[in-house]
Structure formats: C-alpha cells, structure tokens
Amino acid sequence: MRFFNLFIVGAVVLSLTSCGPRAFVKGTYDENVESENLLNDQWSETDMQVAVKELVDKMVYTTRAYGNANSNRQPIVMITKLQNKTSEHIDTESIMDMLRVELTSNGQVQFVDKQARGDIAEEYDYQEGTVTESTKSKRGSQVGADYVLNGRLDSIVQEAGKKKTVYYKLTLNLTNLKTGLIAWTDHKQIRKLYRKQHVGM
C-alpha cells in the first residue's frame, strides 16, 4: 500500500512538472547565419539580408545614381531614416547599418556619419587649445555629402481560413543634395506564406 501511495505521488509530481511552463535551456550556434529563418510570421534577419543584398546590388550597378562628372572621388552618402510603416516593432537602424556596411564593403561610396556629429563637435571643443597644431582637427574641414539615403518599410498581412500571407516592401531613395532630385529609387518585395496547424504541448 505504501509503495502504491509513493507511486501515485510520483506520478502526480511528474505530471505537474511536465505540464508546467517550458523554457529554452540549451542552445547551439548556427554556423550559417544566412540560412533561412522562418520560425514565425514576423520580420526576420533573413528578410533583412535578402532585401538589403538585392537593393545594394541594384544601387551599385545604377550608374546614374553615382554619376559625378565634376569629381573623380567616390560619391559621399548620408544615411538618415528608414520609416517603419508596419505593425511590428522593427529595428530599422539595424537595416540601415547593414546597408552602410554592404555598400562600404563594395567600395563604391563613402559615408558621413550623421549620428556622430555631436561627438565630433565635442571633440573640436576639446582639441581647441589642448592638442598640438599639427594634429588638431579644425572646424570647416569636413567633407559634405552628395546624397541622402532614406526609405520606408511597409507590410500587408492577410488571413483567410487556415492560410496567412505576410507581405513586406522595402523602398529606398537616394536624393541628390544639390538638386533635391531623386537620383535612384527602388524597392524589394517579400511575401511569406503560412498555414495554421494545431501545436501540441
């Protein structure tokens, strides 16, 4: 009888622990960061990689976007803002960072850092009367940008029965600072298909 009672208690404890909340307790590194990630129906790093790569390729090979007949230097670009018009919380700065890295690696353009302007102004103040004249960086010697790069991320979500589609459109605009004209614009469209199914515990 005592053995039977212990068995019942053990079975109850086991059932309670197995029905409790589950946690991810062990992970491994994914050797291929660029492998597809479709774990859920939200914006993923795969979406970002695919969209950025295609748009960078298009931008680089569009000569009219980088034409600068008056200078032999690389065009200088300033990245501003990517608007998030989706219903998701998406780190749009990360998308623009990836764009800058890919374009820099391509060797086609150079960038001015808008976000560093406060730090640069602070450093100018520090160097004034502090560092040697030969190493001092003076105001008025910075290079101006030729183009501004910005854009917008849109999405459309549709559900019908057990089917769901998630559509994203990443649009980029490269605007000539002197003329205000858009020198280049393009978009990348992504549509993902999902089907509802019951998930067991």
Axis-axis angle for helices 45-60, 92-106 (nearest 10): 40
Quick one: average pLDDT of 171-176? 95
Residue range 45-58, pLDDT digits in tens: 899 999 999 999 99
Mean pLDDT value across the chain: 83
Q: Are 32 and 170 in contact (CB under 8 A)?
A: no
Task: Read off the pLDDT of each residue in 50-77 and give the average, rounded to a whole number.
Answer: 77
List, edge to edge, every strand of the sheet that includes 147-160.
110-112, 76-84, 147-160, 163-176, 182-195
Closest CA relative to residue 82, chosen from 168, 158, 165 = 168
Mean pLDDT of 101-108: 88
- Residue 8 pLDDT more than 70? no
Q: What is the topology classification, in CATH, of domain 42-129+143-152+169-187?
A: Rossmann fold (3.40.50)
The DSSP code for 134 is: G
Residue 5 has pLDDT above 70, yes or no: no
Nearest-5° Cα angle at 177, 173 to 183: 40
The pLDDT value given to residue 168: 96
pLDDT confidence band for 155 (50 / 70 / 90): very high
How many angstroms separate the Cα of 78 from the Cα of each of 109, 116, 179? 10, 12, 15
Confidence bin at 40 (pLDDT 50/70/90): confident
Report the distance separating Cα 196 and Cα 199, nearest Å: 9
In the chain, where are the structural domains located?
42-129+143-152+169-187
Give me the mean pLDDT over the 139-151 stretch. 92
Confidence of residue 200 (pLDDT cuts 50, 70, 90): low
Instruction: Fill in the DSSP letter of residue 139.
Output: T
* pLDDT at residue 138, rounded to an integer: 84
Whole-angstrom Cα distance, residue 102 to residue 108? 10
